[in-house]
Amino acid sequence: MQALLDDVASIVDTTDDQYEITKLVAERLSALLDSDYRLLPELTRPSADHHVNYPLHIAPDGSWSVAVVVWAPGQRTPVHGHETWGVVGIYSGSEREIRYAKPTGPGPLTPMGEQVWERGQVTVCCTTDDDVHAVVAAADEPTIGIHVYGADIGTIERRLYDPATGEVRWFVGGWNTP
Ligand SMILES: [Fe+2]
């Protein structure tokens, strides 16, 4: 994990291009998931109520962060945006991702398809122009993702969407305590 953190710090120092950053971070995250790296047990515990976001690392200047996101089977997120770049790797379980086009005006959201991501897979979930989705934990065991974002994802203002109307509500996701 320290190697991943060092690599991400170096990547975000080297370029501001979010497409380049996410491509490089995805390569590093993929290598981590292919290794024998194991998360601390306290970072893998689901909550009965809702999926949880544990902070694995927050850059001192808040310019990027690494979250461990844990869902109990069947838990789902509302449709949400991220307002930054993001790379998601599946550590255990599986995520069904339902994507939407980022709206440029009022009205219902346009679905862009679904995909199931399995353990070991890595996906660029977000660039600032394409960052709207909902996620469902699709496995019988807890689903655990390691997510790298181009901001302190627990503290920034983000959008929640009503996909039927396009109505937006702003929220702050927060961090959970392991
Ligand atoms: Fe998300």
Q: Tell me the CA–centroid distance for residue 122 and ligand 1, in Å.
A: 13
pLDDT category at 59 given cuts 50, 70, 90 is very high
Residue 177, in any domain of the structure: no
Query: Which pLDDT value is given to residue 128?
Result: 97
CA of 168 to the centre of ligand 1 (A): 15
Q: What is the structure's pLDDT at 60?
A: 97
How close is the Cα of 154 to the center of ligand 1, in Å?
A: 12
- pLDDT band, residue 152 (cuts 50/70/90): very high
Q: Provide the pLDDT for residue 28.
A: 98
pLDDT band at 49 (very low <50, low <70, confident <90, very high): very high
Domain assignment present for residue 178? The answer is no
Q: Which range marks the domain in which residue 136 is found? A: 2-172
How high does pLDDT run on average in the chain?
97
Report the separation in Å between the CA atom of 131 and the middle of ligand 1, taken as the mean of its atom positions: 8
pLDDT at 99: 98
Q: Which CATH number is 152's domain given?
A: 2.60.120.10
Q: How many domains does the chain have?
A: 1
29-to-51, 75, 121 alpha-carbon distances in Å: 21, 24, 9
Q: If you measure from the C-alpha of residue 7 to the centroid of ligand 1, how many angstroms do you get, rounded to a whole number? A: 23
Structure token digits, residue 110:
């346009």
> How far is ligand 1, taken at its centre, from the CA of residue 69, in Å?
10
The two tokens of residue 111 are 């679905």
Helix or strand (DSSP H, E) at 47: none
| pLDDT tens by residue, 70-120 | 999 999 999 999 999 999 999 999 999 999 999 999 999 999 999 999 999
Q: What strands lie across the sheet with 143-149, from one edge to the other?
A: 52-58, 65-71, 143-149, 86-92, 122-126
Rounded to the nearest whole angstrom, what is the distance from the C-alpha of residue 58 to the centroid of ligand 1? 17
- What is the distance in A from the centroid of ligand 1 to the CA of 87? 10
